[in-house]
Structure 1
């Protein structure tokens, strides 16, 4: 994030601090690496267990140019012992994890005060409502890095627009808000279940603070100079152009940082030995015959939904590899399921190196929750995998509908009332994505979009930002 005025920028000290979820930490770490390759000194802040998960040593033992600092997460009543990320807790405990995270305010302030070289920039997540006053005290300019799809941020909107146009019912969240210009793309549609989860983000959780309140607390502060988005204009779907809209809505320069994917799949963030048997199984399968199934680490999947998904995979007749990271969820699978699908289906527990799985020649389709990171990883490393899409929360429905409109995937059908799904719908969607006729069309479209995703030079070009105030003579920012 160096301001450039036509000459080479001096080296900066940049502190990067993500929220405690793998879907946040991984792109924040990739951003850190990109900054370091440009000659900047980067301090990446997390907790001890998460640093280990990411394969990071402490101190100077990290990616070249990246220093890793781990802050101990304080204990909170009700939070499982040793829990340091959303992967460690059930969905209903994430609010308590945020409460523990808020306890890092004092250690983070001490960290900033103790640097021999004062940071030039802080890069923070949406969760850090307590960090902005600390930055102001130390007079350190900040950037917020948003890993959600930009369309999700546009729908959330700024506080002043929400006050002017309050959304009081679930139905209010099912329609595009009035601050998004018409005509609105199909991606902005929301089902009732999705709208209810959107509405919940506006209400305080167990941490005592609403997720949207955390976001707005940073957006309001002058010390937050700009907002980075894990995206680029080329992968956004339809008008309105999102980055100018977001700049206007939040009164902060909206900077596309690119998709921040590694150059290849071999350097995956995890090489867990627990996945080795699954990789050996993949090696034994015919080329293009397997559907890879992964719903991320935060999808609030119920026991009933797990059962329908499992029985749908069984009913589809397809070979499948299912990454099910939580052991407690594996115990909820239907009785006898794994025995019945033995040989053509594998359930893998533990953290799965997803990019390696997607890049494997045996994989033909990807059944996904359509988190933004997973969607772009599939396009980048899958080489044209059709998506079977089963969204749950946050921006996932938006991403899924955008991918559907791009012709790269099919939705698992849901009931329009309660948005439930069943085994027949799962089986039908898998068969469509892997069919000879429709599957080939989806794969071709996915490959074409994947070429855009892989074009890092286009994504990382320096955007022009009218009205940027960091330097009087500068209208450009670069990472």
Structure 2
């Protein structure tokens, strides 16, 4: 009995292993910090360069979080040194999935060593892992963990919309989807009131063209099988959303055979937004000084993440739209991979001088969103970016580009926290006039007040500290209970 009580009260050792994208790595790190704050030990696994580029772990939990590098194998066609989706163009993301599959043997060796060492120790990171938290990509990992009797949990960082649209394995087996048009209609397991479906050009991306390097996204048939295999093989699931963060049509795709789930909606570290800026480079300092000089809630922040597949035509249409909208803006463009600076229309920066700022590369996004001058966010509707925006109650101008972003944009439009910029003819053509009109509806016209009120409601959800702490505690209670039962 004493041994059982000691085991129950001792800290767990949890291995955390996200997909190779910083939109996944950062939420997994935030979850790790929440676990470590409660006294548990975390081994955080990723490729070496990804770990080197991580923001510093919170000082108060640093001793309890070990960063463990697993070098990626060489893959034909994958650029040297590429370890995350930020390092490759969109058409090569599939090669990263090949690379992470190549980590099966190195991870198996790591886990075998960890479990063998754990037999001789009861403390620190040498303790045998109690759980492994994985992402959608590592469908091969639960079988390895099962050999050592270590249970797995999957952490779903995509929104409820994506999980619902993908659906569980048994429903996909009963209603297979492969052609692009299959993804442009509501799947039969969702209620008839649901708006969940991809647009025409989005569905082409989702299904993936038939070529040697398909651009299959998280919801493509291949990746859908990868995701459902990973989830169905896990003993538990945790999610980065709750019913309060999505409209009613985002019904859960859980089924009786799905693992038990706990909701986790941990906000990004907003403290970084209020931190002193002593170490800013000159470009960042100049940007913050410019924001300081603008009226409250007058600036549109425009950013599409580090992986946005914007074409030159898209960039020109966005520039035309921002110019015609007449609002102040900060536009962050992705640094090209091995290419030249993105081309803007001739004279664009001169014509918008004083009310518009263009930056190429990295900016401190959370700090910018936290600034009082920012009044709305133009985004691809990636879930991590939306979470950062909701921290500060910003309405949205959405231009979904790939993966689950179209579904998320539909849900946020239904939730009335913003509007989508319409694509023309369903083929991915973007019009500057449509950009301008959508921006003005959100930022200038009376309709924008509704979007701002609803965005503030979501801000209240994320800043409900007691609720957020409760979600994490419930997840840990669930994991501890399953450990006691030996599930």
State whether TM-score is above 0.5. yes
1:75-103 per-residue CA deviation (whole Å, 9 max, x = no partner) reads: 32322222221111110111122222222
1:154-173 per-residue CA deviation (whole Å, 9 max, x = no partner) reads: 11122322221122432221
Alignment equivalent of 2:150, drawn from 140, 144, 156: 140
Is 1:439 the equivalent of 2:444? no
Whole-Å separation in 1 of the counterparts to 2:182 and 2:479? 36
CA gap of 1:135–1:75, structure 2 versus 1, over 3 A, is same
Give 1:321's aligned residue: 330
Contact 2:398 2:419 in 1 (8 A): yes
- Residue 130 of structure 1, CA deviation: 2.6
Whole-Å separation in 1 of the counterparts to 2:38 and 2:457? 30
Q: Which moved more, 1:332-341 or 1:88-97?
A: 332-341
- Residue 288 of structure 1, CA deviation: 1.9
Whole-Å separation in 2 of the counterparts to 1:469 and 1:204? 41
Whole-Å separation in 2 of the counterparts to 1:106 and 1:146? 24
1:287-333 per-residue CA deviation (whole Å, 9 max, x = no partner) reads: 22210001112232222112211221122122211122323474233
Whole-Å separation in 1 of the counterparts to 2:30 and 2:484? 26
Whole-Å separation in 2 of the counterparts to 1:83 and 1:337? 33
Whole-Å separation in 2 of the counterparts to 1:287 and 1:472? 50
Give 2:43's aligned residue: 43
Whole-Å separation in 2 of the counterparts to 1:37 and 1:92? 39
Give 1:78's aligned residue: 77
- Residue 283 of structure 1, CA deviation: 2.1
Whole-Å separation in 1 of the counterparts to 2:400 and 2:250? 23
Is 1:19 the equivalent of 2:31? no
Give 1:254's aligned residue: 261
The root-mean-square deviation of aligned C-alpha atoms, in Å, is 3.2
Give 1:227's aligned residue: 237
Which SS does the other structure have where 2:470 is aligned?
coil
CA gap of 1:277–1:72, structure 2 versus 1, over 3 A, is farther
- Residue 365 of structure 1, CA deviation: 1.0
Contact 1:272 1:351 in 2 (8 A): no
Alignment equivalent of 1:340, drawn from 351, 354, 376: 351
Which SS does the other structure have where 1:63 is aligned?
helix
- Residue 353 of structure 1, CA deviation: 1.9
CA gap of 1:472–1:129, structure 2 versus 1, over 3 A, is closer
1:415-456 per-residue CA deviation (whole Å, 9 max, x = no partner) reads: 243242210011111111111522223212211221112213
Is 1:355 the equivalent of 2:366? yes
Is 1:117 the equivalent of 2:127? yes
- Residue 193 of structure 1, CA deviation: 1.6
Contact 2:13 2:43 in 1 (8 A): yes
Is 1:369 the equivalent of 2:376? no
- Residue 105 of structure 1, CA deviation: 2.1
Q: How many residues align?
A: 458
Whole-Å separation in 1 of the counterparts to 2:130 and 2:227? 22
Whole-Å separation in 2 of the counterparts to 1:48 and 1:373? 22
Contact 1:321 1:345 in 2 (8 A): yes
Give 2:30's aligned residue: 30
TM-score under structure 2 length normalisation: 0.85
Alignment equivalent of 1:396, drawn from 390, 405, 415: 405
CA gap of 1:346–1:34, structure 2 versus 1, over 3 A, is same
Alignment of 1:66-465 (within 5 A): 66-115=65-114, 116-180=126-190, 182-186=191-195, 188-200=196-208, 210-221=222-233, 224-239=234-249, 241-242=251-252, 245-248=253-256, 251-266=258-273, 273=281, 275-327=284-336, 328=339, 330-380=341-391, 382=392, 384-435=393-444, 437-461=446-470
Which SS does the other structure have where 1:420 is aligned?
coil
Contact 2:159 2:408 in 1 (8 A): yes
CA gap of 1:413–1:174, structure 2 versus 1, over 3 A, is same
CA gap of 1:453–1:441, structure 2 versus 1, over 3 A, is same
Q: Which moved more, 1:207-216 or 1:137-146?
A: 207-216
Whole-Å separation in 2 of the counterparts to 1:261 and 1:139? 33
Which residues of structure 1 form unaligned runs of 5+? Answer: none
TM-score under structure 1 length normalisation: 0.86
CA gap of 1:281–1:390, structure 2 versus 1, over 3 A, is same
- Residue 366 of structure 1, CA deviation: 0.6
1:12-43 per-residue CA deviation (whole Å, 9 max, x = no partner) reads: 00000111111000100000000001110011
Contact 2:381 2:405 in 1 (8 A): yes
- Residue 142 of structure 1, CA deviation: 0.3
Q: Which moved more, 1:275-284 or 1:224-233?
A: 275-284
Whole-Å separation in 1 of the counterparts to 2:309 and 2:479? 41
- Residue 145 of structure 1, CA deviation: 0.8
CA gap of 1:474–1:44, structure 2 versus 1, over 3 A, is closer
Which SS does the other structure have where 1:111 is aligned?
helix
Whole-Å separation in 2 of the counterparts to 1:103 and 1:168? 26
